[in-house]
Chain A
Amino acid sequence: MSSKEEVLILDFWGSPFCMRVKIALNEKGVGYESREENLFGGKSELLLSSNPIYQKVPVLLHNGKPLSESSIIVDYINETWPSPPLLPSCPYEKAQAKFWVDFIDKKVFEAGGNIWRSNGEALEQAKQEFIEILKQLEEVLGDSDFFGGKAFGFVDIIAIPLTSWFLAYEKFGGFKVEDHCPKFSAWIKRCLQRDTVAKAIPDSEKVYELVAQLRKMNGIE
């Protein structure tokens, strides 16, 4: 006798933050409905009332109760549907995983943003910083298959959607991640082989077109 679960994501196809939530639910085998928001046209009433503080996607509505902030949502998904576990049970290792989630949240998307938003000298600087961050993450990965070790986990879920924007960074920045960070590239490919991940991540070419559009909107040549 199971009660009907209502799991709804307020979504935007190009948002890596929304992709995180979908991957986490896929990993847990939880079915969900996703409702696309028009971030350029007008945010829905439901979005504005569910996330009054930030008015951003993703929002997860679980049986009507709203949650925002993607890393916090993934944490909630992990605690609500415990199997398979996305975080280690050992408190120290859990803290380390959360540290790297926080690092990735603070650094990667902003560094990538600095690439597509700039030109000339600023662009060169942005590229260097971005590559340094990926190299740091490569060190953390070491020789493991995933940031979670043998098993795909929380840190992998937080990081992999951000890579859907990498083609755009590479094209606007004139570089290839694989040339500088081969281990990181290998990890990306390994994650994309998982069905739970692949079906949540859009084509990089589509994301590239989105970023090109954003550049135009921001008046960047």
Chain B
Amino acid sequence: MAEEVILLDVLLSMFGARVRIALAEKEVKYENKEQNLSDKSPLLLEMNPIHKKIPVLIHNGKPVCESLIIVEYIDNVWQRKAPLLPTDPYQRSQARFWADFVDKKLYVAGNKVLTITTKGEEQETAKKEFLDTLKMLEAELGDKPYFGGESFGFVDIALVGFYSWFHAYETFGNFSVEAECPKLIAWAKRCMEKESVSKSLPDQKTVYEYVVQVRKKFGIE
């Protein structure tokens, strides 16, 4: 039976990255359709009328939205390879908790760092919040190779897309992630050794240049 899998995506998005990585882990063939969020396509508006955001996975014409929900969906549909979530209910709940933490805390803290206007107190506050969040994640990782333990899984997928944005965070926040969270950098590099990850993530320079452009556009010095 012919499967039609389409991903409405934006290369630089850490949320889009999650879905790319999940599909790559499962070796699912799909068509990637890069979206222009300043001029949203009729297809995007039709497939995600509620949030009008990417990523959207369109599987045999039916849309699935919200990146973590999409990753769970992918795990449920393509079960033969690479399980992304553990089978034990408690471990699953922990994986969902930490992926949700990345969404609730890291993304918001990261945006505050990227939109810093004045150096001094504002920068210090944003930097502290961001680094505190990263440190909590580093503590959760502990000495495990991946958040999931021995194998790459759900929380790794939820977080690793942010690695592309580290150079931008570091520059505008004036800190070094490696200096503050060396274990996390080691984890990120370990993930990047996987083809499913390295082929799915944009390089840090491209992301940085994009942020510079956006800051200019919104008059953020």
Binding site for B on A (CB under 8 A): 53, 62, 65, 67-69, 72-73, 75-76, 79-80, 91-92, 94-96, 98-99, 102-103, 136
Contact = CB atoms under 8 A, between A and B. Distances in A.
Interface stretch (B18-26, B94-102, B148-156): B94-102
B33 interface: no
A72 B100 contact: yes
Contacts of A69: 96-97, 100
A76 B90 contact: yes
B96 A68 contact: no
Contact of B97 (A72, A102, A103): A72
B42 to A, nearest CB: 21
B92 A91 contact: no
B138 interface: no
Contact of B96 (A53, A72, A91, A94): A72
B93 A67 contact: yes
Contact of B77 (A62, A68, A72, A91): A91
Contact of B69 (A65, A68, A76, A95): A95
Interface of B: 50, 59, 62, 64-66, 69-70, 72-73, 76-77, 89-90, 92-93, 96-97, 100-101, 136
A150 to B, nearest CB: 21
A92 B59 contact: yes
Contact of B89 (A80, A103, A136): A80
B77 to A, nearest CB: 5
A68 B97 contact: yes
Given A99-B65, A103-B50, A76 B59 contact: no
Given A69-B100, A91-B77, A95-B72, A75 B50 contact: no
A75 B73 CA distance: 15
A119 B76 CA distance: 47
